[in-house]
Structure formats: C-alpha cells, structure tokens
Amino acid sequence: MNNPFRKDLVSRSQPEACTVVIFGATGDLTHRKLIPALYNLQLEGALPAGVKIVGFARREKTDEQFRSGLEEINRKVSRSGHDDEVWADFAQKIHYHQSEFQDADGYKRLAESLEEIDQERGGKGNRLFYIASAPSFFDDVLESLKDAGLNSCRAGCWSRVIVEKPFGIDLPSAQHLNEVVNKTFQEKDTYRIDHYLGKETAQNIMVLRFANAIFEPLWNNNYIDHIQITCAENLGMEGGRGGYYDKAGALRDMVQNHLLQLLSLVAMEPPTDLTADGVRDEKVKVLRSLRQWDTPELVAENVVRAQYTEGHVDGEKCVGYCQEDRVDPESTTEAYVALRIMIDTWRWSGVPFFVRMGKQLPKKATEISVHFKEPPTVLFNALSGGVPGGNVLVIRIQPDEGISLRMVSKIPGARLRLEPVKMDFHYSTSFGKGSPEAYERLLLDSMAGDATLFARRDEVEEAWKFIDHIESAWHESSNPPPVADYVAGTWGPKEADDLLAEGGRKWRRL
C-alpha cells in the first residue's frame, strides 16, 4: 500500500521506513560517509520516520559510546553542519551490536534485536543490510545472514543488501561474490554501490543527452572524433592506503567500476524507459561491445601503465610510488593507467575512447570531454593556420561540476583571425546551493527500491572481463608490457601522450 501523502510531494520514488544494519560500523566509511549522509537526510526531512540504524562491528561498545564517536565525526564532516537538537533525536535511532563477522551466535542475537524493533512496528519490518567491511568478509557476512534467516522477510516487507566496492578483484572472484550474494538475496534486492553514479553530474549525463534535442543527432561517429575520460588525483598513498592500493592498482580501483560506468552512460543508446533495468540494459550493452585487448601485444598497443617517481605536487615534495609507505619497493602495480577503448557498435565504430586515471597528478579533477570532428577544409579552414582546435563539449564531474562547450569565434578587427572561446556553465554559480552527497541519494534510492544508480550483476562481470585480459597480460604473460614512469606532479608518462598522438590528438589540458 502506497503512502497517499507521498503522491507528488517529491518527484522521486518513495523511500520506506526500514532498519539499516551496517556491517563494519566502527570503520571509516560509516563515520565519514554513511552516518553523515543519513543525518543530512534526517535534517532535510527526507528520511522516513521510523528508520532505525544498527551498527555491527567487533569491538566492545555501548550504544552511547558508539553514538558519541559518530557525533564527533559528524560535527566535522556533515555537509549542512551539525544541529544538536536534530542529532539528539537522530542518535536515538542508532544502536550498536557487538559481534564478530564469523560468529553465528552474533547473527542470532541480531535477528532477535531486529525482531524486537519490528514488533514495535506491529511486526512489519523492512531491512537494509549495508556491508561496509573489507571484501574478504563479504562471504562470511552474507552466508551468516542466510543461516540466521535474515535474508528473508515477511509478506509485504523487503530485505535488501548494499555491497560496497571493490566488488571482486577479477572476474572469477566477482562471479563467486555474485553467486554468494544471489544465493542470499535476489538480484532485485542487491544494490552494488558505485558512488560515482550518485554524483549529480553523472546523473546529468543522461539529461544532457536525452533531454536536449541538439546533442543526440551529433552523438555518433559521423561527428565525434574521440572521447576522453580523465580522473586525476593529486594525492599519493597517504594514510596507509598503500597496503590496499599496491594489491589493487589504478585499473581495478577506478577504471573497472567508476570510469567504465561513466563510459557506459556516455556511450549507451537511449533506453526505452527510465526504469532501473531499462537504463542498465543499455549500459551493459556498451560493456559487452568493448573490444577486448586479449593479447599482450594488443595490451601493449592500447594500454599504458605507469608509476610516479619523486617530484612535487602542490608545491610539496613527494616520494616515488615504490618508496611510499606500505608499497612493495619492487612493485609493478600501476599508479597511473591510460587506455584506448573501442566500442564495436554501429554508433561508435572507429571512435576511440581514451580513459586515464592517475595518482600524484597536478590537480584533482574528473571529467569527460567529447571532441568533435574538424569542419571541412574549405572556407575558414582553408585559411592559413586553419581553425584552431575543434568543438569540445566537457562534462566536469568533480570538483567544479559543470558543462562547457568550446567553439571558434572571430577576433574583432578588420582581419579574419579566429580563436577558440568557451561557453561555460558551473553548477555552483548557477545553482548556489551545494549538491547532496552521493551517499545520500544512493541510500534513499535503496530505501525506495530504485536500483537505477547501482551496478547490476552483468555490468560488473562484463567490466571485469575487459579488465582481466589487461591484468593477465601485465602479470601473467611471458612478455609483459613495460611499466612507464612519470615525475610526480606532471600529467603522466610520455607513452600515454603517444597513445593519442595518431591523428594529432592530444590529452585535454585540465
């Protein structure tokens, strides 16, 4: 039964009251992202009344200790500040449950506590399990949930699971995880988080393409020369990240999930409708059409991996990748990767997508740029010097979210001189208020049963299939492509520039 008061009140699917159980609740993700997101939803009146939060982790804590730890961090990181009165009510919703992930008895006790909460609600209880633990525990948690019967629910209620990244480290492990998840929860109740999809600009890609009549007719190989997707970070392995990163690398950590998701939003066909499966059906078709770089030679031709050497970022001196804390001095893990990706569909035939991601680059920025073909070489193009650069449409994902279009214009004066000019739209200047955090949107969507912004099983597996060929050429072949290097604080290795050089292409300067 729908809540009649929700009709048209806000134009989105309706989130429903539930108990959110967070596994790994004493961790960084819970403190910095999940609780502040839930708190901000409460502050805006968007969190359904009756939502309860149960934190599950190993160390001993009372409810009070758990709440005050969360409060301390929330004061520092909450997007809309911290209001004591609102927090006081919010904190009453939060409880702590101490248990090991592998302890069957802990799940039995959890089931009892959830039952008590449900009883207060007249036996109706929706449950949202959020697995915010290291991936090595996913199996334990999911299987224990099943053994304790927590994956099933009463008629008219739901039980859903949210799984954090990384979702596997390769195709077999992702398939295994998917099997474990789907043995416990149905696919429709499984929400694989990719927080990039919760970002306002990522959602705007579809709006830009399909709500404006002027782009879609040009969005194909007749008019587009190539597309670049860049994710630059100006950080290295601070805060002990090296331990995790050195096992993962840039390709697994960022490209398999976030950047391939952005690529599929840019490249997909118009979906027949905006339902979760309508959109995801089209996205997965893109991933299925990626040309596979399945020999070491093809990988060497189309993918560049690199590590940074000692240099300066933001005026600060920094060490090389192999000298970083918790990184193997002999490591061949890539801190930078650049790929040429070909999508073998009618629309994209012959249009390369260049994707790059790197650590210790000059600045932090994620963007997509669509580079249009040059106009014919007659008229202005026939002038000496030609037209400077073609049209470029840029979608900035972070930090300065917005859209810009580069065009060519005449410089005023008697002579015919042409220069590129930029039309620029910034979210922050046009819409003064800040965008909500990705986790706010995603948590609300999962309470509403809307999986559009979450990755589906086949998407994850298709993405791994593409990534695995490259990883295997790097780590399992007898003639692995070399690891290039670049000075920290520069825009990556020369080899990555060479990847584009054909046809006079260049990486966009950010």
Partner 1 sequence: MQILGKEVAIGSVDRELRLLWEQDKASTNASLMNLAVYSENDGAILRNSDLVQEITREHACRAILIGIDRDDPKASIRAWITAHCHLRHGRKSVCCEQIAFQLTGRATGRLRNTVFAHLNSDLPLVFWWQGELSSIFSERLYSLIERFVFDSSQWSDPAESFKCIERALKNANNFSPMDMEWTRSYAVRLAVAGLYDDPLAKQSLEYTNSIRIKVHPNHKMAGLQLLAWIIQSNGWKPLMDKRQDTEISDRFCFETNEGVEVTAVVETASSAAPIAELEISSPDCTVRVSRGADSRYLHQLLNVGSHRVEQSTPVSGNDPAELFMAQLSRGGKNSLFRMIIPTFLSFLGVNEEEIYGTNIE
Ligand X SMILES: NC(=O)c1ccc[n+]([C@@H]2O[C@H](COP(=O)([O-])OP(=O)(O)OC[C@H]3O[C@@H](n4cnc5c(N)ncnc54)[C@H](OP(=O)(O)O)[C@@H]3O)[C@@H](O)[C@H]2O)c1
The reply to whether 73 sits near ligand X by the rule CB under 6 A is: no
Task: By CB under 6 A, name the one of 58, 347, 505, 508 that touches ligand X.
Answer: 58
How many whole angstroms separate alpha carbon 133 and alpha carbon 101?
A: 9
301 binds, among ligand X, partner 1, none (CB under 5 to 8 A by kind): none
Residue 17 is encoded by which pair of tokens?
């009251």
31 is catalytic: no
164 binds, among ligand X, partner 1, none (CB under 5 to 8 A by kind): ligand X
Our CB check for ligand X shows the closer of 163 and 290 to be: 163
Our CB check for ligand X shows the closer of 132 and 224 to be: 132
Angle subtended by helix axes 138-147 and 171-184, to nearest 10: 20
Task: By CB under 8 A, name the one of 8, 60, 330, 502 that touches partner 1.
Answer: 8
Among positions 29-48, residues that touch ligand X (CB under 6 A) are: 29-30, 32-33
Provide, rounded to whole angstroms, the least separation between the CB of residue 104 and ligand X: 13
How many of the chain's residues bind ligand X (CB under 6 A)? 21
Task: By CB under 6 A, name the one of 17, 27, 182, 408 that touches ligand X.
Answer: 27
Residue 229 is encoded by which pair of tokens?
């997707």
Residue 201 buriedness (CB in 10 A; 0-12 / 13-18 / 19+): buried
26 binds, among partner 1, ligand X, none (CB under 5 to 8 A by kind): ligand X
Instruction: Give the Å distances, CA to CA, from 446 to 7, 209, 235, 257, 489.
Output: 19, 25, 31, 19, 39
Largest CA distance in the chain: 85
Establish whether the linkage from the previous residue to 420 is cis, with ω within 30° of 0.
no
Reduce the DSSP state of residue 80 to 3 states and report it.
coil
How many whole angstroms separate alpha carbon 85 and alpha carbon 293?
A: 56
Task: By CB under 8 A, name the one of 22, 38, 43, 337 that touches partner 1.
Answer: 43
How many whole angstroms separate alpha carbon 204 and alpha carbon 181?
A: 30
Catalytic residue among 31, 195, 258, 469: 258
Among positions 87-106, residues that touch partner 1 (CB under 8 A) are: 89-90
Among positions 119-148, residues that touch partner 1 (CB under 8 A) are: 120-122, 124
Residue 154 is encoded by which pair of tokens?
């009463």
100 binds, among ligand X, partner 1, none (CB under 5 to 8 A by kind): ligand X
Our CB check for partner 1 shows the closer of 8 and 476 to be: 8
Residue 413 buriedness (CB in 10 A; 0-12 / 13-18 / 19+): exposed
Provide, rounded to whole angstroms, the least separation between the CB of residue 193 and ligand X: 8
Residue 52: strand pairing partners: 19
The reply to whether 135 sits near ligand X by the rule CB under 6 A is: yes
Among positions 430-489, residues that touch partner 1 (CB under 8 A) are: 430-433
How many whole angstroms separate alpha carbon 403 and alpha carbon 427?
A: 8
Our CB check for partner 1 shows the closer of 275 and 429 to be: 429
The reply to whether 85 sits near partner 1 by the rule CB under 8 A is: yes
How many whole angstroms separate alpha carbon 395 and alpha carbon 398?
A: 9
The reply to whether 60 sits near ligand X by the rule CB under 6 A is: no
CA angle 434, 276, 29 (to 5 degrees): 50
209 binds, among partner 1, ligand X, none (CB under 5 to 8 A by kind): none
Reported in sequence order, the residue ranges of 132-268 that DSSP labels E, i.e. its strands, are: 159-163, 190-192, 224-232
The site for partner 1 (CB under 8 A) is made up of 1, 3-11, 14-17, 42-50, 83, 85-86, 89-90, 120-122, 124, 156, 426, 428-433
Catalytic sites, residue numbers: 258
The site for ligand X (CB under 6 A) is made up of 24-30, 32-33, 57-59, 100-101, 132-135, 164-166
